[in-house]
A and B are shown apart, each in its own frame.
Chain A
Amino acid sequence: MSVESLIFEKGATGRRVSTMPTMDVPTEPLADMIPEKLLRMTPAPLPEVSEIEIVRHYTHLAQRNFSVDAGFYPLGSCTMKYNPKVNEDMAVLPGFARIHPLQPDSTVQGALQLMYELEQYLAEISGMTRVTLQPSAGAHGELTGLMLIKAHHQHQGEGHRNLVLIPDNAHGTNPASATLADYKAVEVKSDVTTGGIDMAHLQVLLQAHGANIAAIMMTNPNTLGLFDSNIAEIAQMVHEVGGQLYYDGANANAVLGITRPGDMGFDVVHFNLHKTCSTPHGGGGPGAGPIGVKAHLVPFLPGPMPAKNDDGTYSWQDTGPHSIGKVRANLGNFGVLVRAYAYIRTNGPDGLKHVSESAILNANYLKHELAADYDVAYPQICQHEFVVTAQRQKDEHNITALDIAKRLLDFGMYAPTVYFPLIVHEALMIEPTETETRETLDSFVSVMHIIADEIRTNPEIVRTAPHTTVVGRLDQALAARKPNLRWTNGQEATH
Chain B
Amino acid sequence: MHYVPNTPEEQVAMLEQMGLERMEDLLTTVPQAVRVNRPLDLPQALAEPDLKRLLTRMAAKNKNIDATLSFLGAGTYDHAIPSVVPHLQRRSEFVTSYTPYQAEVSQGMLQAIYEFQTMVCQITGLDIANASLYDGSTAVVEAVLLALGPGGRGEIVISQGVDPQYRRVLHTYAFARGFSVKEVQTRNGVTPLDALDAAVSPTTAAVIMQQPNFFGRVEDMHAIERIAHKGKALFVTTITEPASLGVLASPAEYGADIAVGELMSFGNTMSYGAPALGFMAAKQKFMRLLPGRLVGQTVEEGGERQTGYVLTLQTREQHIRRERATSNICTNQSLLAVGATIYMAALGKQGFRELGELCLQKAHYAFRQITALPGFEAAFTGPFYDEFVVKLPIAATQMQQHFEQAGIIGGLPLGESYPELANCMLFCVTETRTKEDIDTLVAVLKTVSTAIDIHVVASKEVAEVKA
B405 at the interface (CB under 8 A from A): no
Interface residues of A in 436-473 (CB under 8 A from B): 436-438, 464, 466, 469-473
A47 touches B345 (CB 8 A): yes
A28 touches B26 (CB 8 A): no
> Distance in Å from the Cβ of B368 to the closest Cβ of chain A?
9
Which of B5-13, B199-207, B228-236, B450-458 contacts its partner? B5-13
B247 touches A40 (CB 8 A): yes
B74 at the interface (CB under 8 A from A): yes
Which of A85-93, A203-211, A238-246, A388-396 contacts its partner? A85-93
Q: CB-CB contacts of A311-355 with B at 8 A, as 1s and 0s?
A: 000000000000011111111111110100110111111111111
> Distance in Å from the Cβ of A147 to the closest Cβ of chain B?
5
Chain A: which residue is nearest B71 at the CB level? A100
A374 at the interface (CB under 8 A from B): no
B352 touches which of A41, A46, A178 (Cβ 8 Å): A46
Question: CB-CB < 8 A to A94: which residues of B?
Answer: 59, 64, 66-67
Chain A: which residue is nearest B307 at the CB level? A3
Interface residues of A in 111-126 (CB under 8 A from B): 111, 113-114, 121, 124-125
> Distance in Å from the Cβ of A355 to the closest Cβ of chain B?
7
B108 at the interface (CB under 8 A from A): yes
B11 touches A361 (CB 8 A): yes
A100 touches B318 (CB 8 A): no
Bound complex: CA A139 to CA B322 (Å) = 12
A68 at the interface (CB under 8 A from B): yes
Bound complex: CA A255 to CA B129 (Å) = 39
Interface residues of A in 364-405 (CB under 8 A from B): 364-365, 368-369, 380-381, 383, 405
Chain B: which residue is nearest A257 at the CB level? B40
Bound complex: CA A249 to CA B222 (Å) = 47
Which of B132-140, B373-381, B459-467 contacts its partner? B132-140
Question: CB-CB < 8 A to A231: which residues of B?
Answer: 31, 34
B275 touches A65 (CB 8 A): no
Chain B: which residue is nearest A470 at the CB level? B107
B60 touches A97 (CB 8 A): no
Known pairs A38-B220, A68-B96; A176 contacts B36 (CB<8 A): no
Bound complex: CA A327 to CA B166 (Å) = 9
A258 touches B36 (CB 8 A): yes
> Distance in Å from the Cβ of B317 to the closest Cβ of chain A?
8
B312 touches A42 (CB 8 A): no
Chain B: which residue is nearest A174 at the CB level? B322
B39 touches A47 (CB 8 A): no
> Distance in Å from the Cβ of A483 to the closest Cβ of chain B?
5
Question: CB-CB < 8 A to A33: which residues of B?
Answer: 360, 364, 383
Q: CB-CB contacts of A282-307 with B at 8 A, as 1s and 0s?
A: 11111110000000000000100000
Question: CB-CB < 8 A to A283: which residues of B?
Answer: 94-95, 97-100, 106, 109, 112, 334-335, 338
A329 touches which of B15, B65, B118, B165 (Cβ 8 Å): B165
B285 at the interface (CB under 8 A from A): no
Question: CB-CB < 8 A to B323: which residues of A?
Answer: 175-176, 178-179, 184-185
Question: CB-CB < 8 A to B172: which residues of A?
Answer: 147, 302, 324-327
> Distance in Å from the Cβ of B376 to the closest Cβ of chain A?
18
B348 touches A15 (CB 8 A): yes
Chain A: which residue is nearest B434 at the CB level? A24
A68 touches B30 (CB 8 A): no
B10 touches A438 (CB 8 A): yes
B328 touches A139 (CB 8 A): yes
Bound complex: CA A146 to CA B97 (Å) = 29
A285 touches B102 (CB 8 A): no
B183 at the interface (CB under 8 A from A): no
A125 touches B42 (CB 8 A): yes
B108 touches A64 (CB 8 A): yes
Question: CB-CB < 8 A to B246: which residues of A?
Answer: 40, 44
Question: CB-CB < 8 A to B40: which residues of A?
Answer: 124-125, 256-257, 349, 352-353
A259 touches B35 (CB 8 A): yes
A61 touches B10 (CB 8 A): no
Interface residues of B in 425-454 (CB under 8 A from A): 431-432, 434-435, 438
Known pairs A179-B325, A414-B105; A282 contacts B84 (CB<8 A): no
Bound complex: CA A375 to CA B129 (Å) = 42
Bound complex: CA A364 to CA B163 (Å) = 50
Interface residues of B in 103-150 (CB under 8 A from A): 103-109, 111-115, 117-119, 121-123, 125, 127-129, 131-132, 134-138, 145
Interface size on A, residues (CB 8 A): 213
Known pairs A136-B275, A285-B334, A354-B1; A18 contacts B29 (CB<8 A): no
Chain B: which residue is nearest A148 at the CB level? B176
B354 touches A20 (CB 8 A): yes
A3 touches B36 (CB 8 A): no
B30 touches A259 (CB 8 A): yes
Known pairs A54-B346, A333-B275; A18 contacts B351 (CB<8 A): yes
B104 touches A469 (CB 8 A): yes
Bound complex: CA A265 to CA B33 (Å) = 11
> Distance in Å from the Cβ of B300 to the closest Cβ of chain A?
4
Bound complex: CA A474 to CA B171 (Å) = 42
> Distance in Å from the Cβ of A117 to the closest Cβ of chain B?
9
B169 at the interface (CB under 8 A from A): yes
Bound complex: CA A439 to CA B335 (Å) = 31
B370 at the interface (CB under 8 A from A): no
Question: CB-CB < 8 A to B371: which residues of A?
Answer: none
Known pairs A25-B365, A173-B330, A484-B298; A474 contacts B41 (CB<8 A): no
B84 touches A17 (CB 8 A): yes
A280 touches B95 (CB 8 A): yes
Bound complex: CA A304 to CA B120 (Å) = 32
B209 at the interface (CB under 8 A from A): no
Q: CB-CB contacts of B306-323 with A at 8 A, as 1s and 0s?
A: 111110111101111111
Bound complex: CA A312 to CA B60 (Å) = 17
A172 touches B325 (CB 8 A): yes
B184 at the interface (CB under 8 A from A): no
Question: CB-CB < 8 A to B46: which residues of A?
Answer: 345-346, 348
Chain B: which residue is nearest A227 at the CB level? B29
Question: CB-CB < 8 A to A191: which residues of B?
Answer: none
A167 at the interface (CB under 8 A from B): no
Chain B: which residue is nearest A134 at the CB level? B274
Bound complex: CA A396 to CA B252 (Å) = 55
Q: CB-CB contacts of A21-59 with B at 8 A, as 1s and 0s?
A: 101111110100111011111111111110100110111
Question: CB-CB < 8 A to B226: which residues of A?
Answer: none
> Distance in Å from the Cβ of B361 to the closest Cβ of chain A?
5
Question: CB-CB < 8 A to A81: which residues of B?
Answer: 3
A42 touches B250 (CB 8 A): yes
A409 touches B105 (CB 8 A): yes
A46 touches B347 (CB 8 A): yes
Question: CB-CB < 8 A to B178: which residues of A?
Answer: 182
> Distance in Å from the Cβ of B191 to the closest Cβ of chain A?
14
Question: CB-CB < 8 A to A99: which residues of B?
Answer: 62-65, 270-272
B299 touches A475 (CB 8 A): yes
B310 touches A479 (CB 8 A): yes
B18 touches A479 (CB 8 A): no
Task: Tell me which of B103, B131, B355 has the highest count of chain A C-beta atoms within 10 A of its own C-beta.
Answer: B103
B70 at the interface (CB under 8 A from A): yes
Bound complex: CA A406 to CA B356 (Å) = 46
Bound complex: CA A113 to CA B62 (Å) = 10
B293 touches A63 (CB 8 A): no
B27 at the interface (CB under 8 A from A): yes
Question: CB-CB < 8 A to A68: which residues of B?
Answer: 92, 96-97
Chain A: which residue is nearest B174 at the CB level? A325
Task: Tell me which of B106, B136, B322, B364 has the highest count of chain A C-beta atoms within 10 A of its own C-beta.
Answer: B322
Interface pairs A-B: 4 shortest CB-CB: A101-B273, A95-B59, A282-B335, A348-B45
Apart from A43-B352, A110-B58, what are 15 other A-B pairs with CB-CB below 8 Å? A1-B304, A54-B346, A65-B109, A90-B51, A107-B409, A140-B329, A229-B29, A282-B333, A284-B331, A284-B334, A329-B163, A358-B1, A360-B27, A475-B298, A485-B117
- Interface CB pairs A-B, < 8 A, 18: A14-B350, A17-B84, A17-B347, A38-B383, A70-B92, A86-B51, A95-B56, A99-B64, A102-B412, A110-B61, A139-B331, A259-B30, A326-B165, A344-B42, A349-B41, A470-B107, A474-B300, A485-B294
